[in-house]
Amino acid sequence: MAVNLDLAPAACVAGVELATVSAGLKADGTADMVVAMLADTAVTTAVFTQNTFCAAPVTLCREYLNVNGGAVRALLINSGNANAGTGQPGIAMARGHCQALASALSVPVESVLPFSTGVIGQLLPDERMRAGIARAASELAQRGVDQASDSTPDAALKYWDDAARGIMTTDTHPKLTSQVVMIAGSPVTITGMAKGAGMIQPNMATMLSYVFTDAAIDLKDLSEALRSVVDVSFNAITVDSDTSTNDACVLVATGVGEALDSTQVEWPTFMSALTKVCTDLAQGIIRDAEGATKFISVHVSGGNDTAECKRVAYAIANSPLVKTAMFASDANVGRLLMAIGKADIKDLDASGVTVRLGDVLAFENAGIASGYTEERGAAVMSEDEIDVHVDLGRGATAASVYTSDLSHDYVSINADYRS
Amino acid sequence: MAVNLDLAPAACVAGVELATVSAGLKADGTADMVVAMLADTAVTTAVFTQNTFCAAPVTLCREYLNVNGGAVRALLINSGNANAGTGQPGIAMARGHCQALASALSVPVESVLPFSTGVIGQLLPDERMRAGIARAASELAQRGVDQASDSTPDAALKYWDDAARGIMTTDTHPKLTSQVVMIAGSPVTITGMAKGAGMIQPNMATMLSYVFTDAAIDLKDLSEALRSVVDVSFNAITVDSDTSTNDACVLVATGVGEALDSTQVEWPTFMSALTKVCTDLAQGIIRDAEGATKFISVHVSGGNDTAECKRVAYAIANSPLVKTAMFASDANVGRLLMAIGKADIKDLDASGVTVRLGDVLAFENAGIASGYTEERGAAVMSEDEIDVHVDLGRGATAASVYTSDLSHDYVSINADYRS
């Protein structure tokens, strides 16, 4: 029951081979392990959760990226178990799984990045993981042999769709999308996948998100590109204000295609397409958020800096009272004021603040706007896409944050998650 | 359906006369206006919300307290409408209502403090307010005449119970309690009432709370007493992380009884009783929180300072995922770790943190504690009173925060509130 989740169609990225299997980590037996094999020309950068209790795979990713210089050959992703809060045994186990995949693919262990998502505080089932890894590696090897048989675009695209499903937990739909741009007369493809649904207020990354391009880009440009894009995409969403222990956002340039660097005139074209992929995926996470019945965009302008605009936007987007009012299609302007007012913005002058619901001016001069009626507000709130505009009336910067409503289904999903 | 809301019985405070009427502000016609008339010896101090969009009555209270030096003769309290987000018209109206009550009681306008709670963003119905004020004032005058007829303790106590009901909004039970201590051989009574239920994460005050004592205390001692007590009572609770526009906590010393100052040996006895009244009221708000099925105490110790202990405690207490797990009686230690980890405590060493559910050690050395089982955790979580203990393992300070769970009823109550 995602809210208008309508992503641009996906295309394969040359230099990435995907295998998805059911390792038996999820109780329902659906796919729960994805292995991505990358071309030996690939350069990879990533950002991770700022949560103190970061998961074992996050710790290992940081360690491996520190020594491999971006030379990553494989991603090992499992859903159903987060391998977080598992101490040294959890780290040792993840290291063993990376080693197993590295041996099977004949690549160095530090070129294998592990990722996990699911229940926190339980050790991974070691045997099932190893059996799943062996099966995925064998499938990739077999595919190399049979390459001719499945080289049709549709067949290859199915691997991407399977992978987007394999990383899901409480998501109801896979999130997979592409943009293709022309660089120096050649097409460059950017394809991303993400999973989210709950425990979503990423801090420098989101739950799990993987973006691939066939362009050849060096590590410095690639890292700067990722950092600038996550600020307006994955770092601008919230379901429930809760920051996961396992957030990771990975950007891979396989280097199989066109060479590209930040001094080229085409760089803004590439950045624009990358931003589109990441923004669509991030907003897709919200559209498919746990229990979501509305997609809410909170736009805050007129601030002194981006930080205070985001602070106000998150105060609104995380307020349980605002979110329950959204669920009820209730034009409760008072709760919006409450949320703006609790954001602790120093010296904010209430009389300079304006609030609009969609195009309807609701609040100005410290009071309800003349001409505003409940009926006009209710008409905006009855839609499943709601825009809230707040102008702080004191500066020139702006920021947007995207969120879902708080429904009975959110409570049901999270009260029942482990049972 | 409050959770074990069992307050010590109330006693009247000499020097306070209460009248409660139905002014027609609440749709269901129940009592919604309370007038408290105070002895001319009374000294009053108060703390208010830090919300930028503070309500008109909060603005007026601050203005009047700045000029009256604590000489307050009446409190005018209404429920059903918050008079917040109402701009200059809201302030003018509240000032007119204070003037009306001041005239009826023959006291200066700046000695009348106004308080409102309820829906935000709508002007008060002026005529109904004025009619209610006239009725309450007339009832107080009549009572002076008929004093003999209702001078029994039970009859007088009924006025206090009516007032505690008259300030309620979505509360299901009145919160009214007393402590009596002996000061220099004479009894000193402290009686408080509070309302809460939702939009509760007070910042220097709570929704509406009134505490009265018959002791004679000067303004400086009284103000310092209130500020120190709210830190461990009203400023240590949260229902939904949302800070109201109307929070106010008022402490009145009527001066009819024993004189008391902070240099006396009995001062700690008085402070201890005042703390008990405020803590019981604050925790009473949580026990009667919107949709509450559990009363949850989050104790954080081993911190470098109180601020970081409270920050961790609030991160846990405000996490929707922790609160839905509590609702489900799910011993989800992973969500507790997530919440501690997102609290952004600088240089927190995950391996030094321990987590206990009740007396059951659940997490230590960065992993699930040996000997911990789901069954032992579940036994603690099945109770309706749950203690979570977190030790940060790096300092000697501690703080506690009290909260409720996030249930379907919370969503229902707040999705339906204005309809």
| Tens digits of residue pLDDT in B169-189 | 777 888 888 888 888 888 889
Strand partners for A182: A187
Output the pTM of the full model.
Answer: 0.78
Who has greater pLDDT, B277 or A76?
A: A76
Give the Cα separation of A405 and A319 in Å (integer): 10
Q: Is A133 on the interface with B (CB under 8 A)?
A: no
CB contact at 8 A, A290 and A241: no
Give the per-residue pLDDT at A237.
67
Closest residue in B to A365 (Cα–Cα): B87
Give the per-residue pLDDT at A417.
59
Give the per-residue pLDDT at A151.
55
Closest residue in A to B202 (Cα–Cα): A342
Q: Work out the end-to-end distance of chain A between its first and last CA atoms, rounded to an integer number of angstroms.
A: 22
Spatial CB neighbours of B270, under 8 Å, sequence gap ≥ 6: B181, B183, B188, B190, B213, B215, B225, B260
Mean pLDDT in residue range A168-173: 80
Residue A212, pLDDT > 60, answer: yes
Residues A414, B321: C-beta atoms closer than 8 Å:
yes
Give the per-residue pLDDT at B200.
60
Name chain A contacts of B357, Cβ cutoff 8 Å. none
Spatial CB neighbours of B40, under 8 Å, sequence gap ≥ 6: B73
Per DSSP, which regions of B307-370 are E strands? 354-357, 360-364, 367-368
CB contact at 8 A, A256 and A14: yes
Name chain A contacts of B321, Cβ cutoff 8 Å. 198-199, 240, 242, 414
Q: Any idea which of A123-127, B29-33, B177-181, B227-231 has the lowest mean pLDDT?
A: B227-231
Show the tokens assigned to A211: 């973006």
Name chain B contacts of A120, Cβ cutoff 8 Å. 332-335, 337-338
Integer angstrom CA distances of residue A268 from A11, A275, B5: 21, 10, 61
| Domains of chain B, CATH where assigned | 16-287 (3.60.70.12), 295-416 (3.10.20.340)
Strand partners for A208: A195, A248
Q: Which of residues 246-305 of A touch B (CB under 8 A)?
A: none
Structure letter (DSSP) for residue B104: H
Give the per-residue pLDDT at A152.
66
CB contact at 8 A, A163 and A209: no
What angle do the packed helices A333-341 and A320-327 form, to 10 degrees? Answer: 160
Give the per-residue pLDDT at B150.
47
Who has greater pLDDT, B8 or A373?
A: A373
Residue A300 has φ and ψ, to the nearest 5°, of -115, 125
Residues A90, B367: C-beta atoms closer than 8 Å:
yes
From A104, A114, A119, A113, select the one nearest A71 (Cα to Cα).
A113
CA of residue A110 relative to chain centroid, distance: 24
Show the tokens assigned to B32: 């919604």
Give the Cα separation of A274 and B86 in Å (integer): 45
From A43, A23, A102, select the one nearest A260 (Cα to Cα).
A43
Task: Choose the closest CB to A121 out of B53, B333, B350.
Answer: B333
Q: Is A206 an annotated catalytic residue?
A: yes
Using only C-alpha atoms, chain A has a radius of gyration, in whole angstroms, of 22
B147-151 contacts, C-beta under 8 A, 24 or more apart: none
Integer angstrom CA distances of residue A16 from A111, A132, A190, A202, B171: 15, 19, 12, 26, 58
Integer angstrom CA distances of residue B237 from A150, B278, B281: 60, 12, 11
- Highest mean pLDDT among A21-30, A283-292, B132-141, B245-254 belongs to B132-141
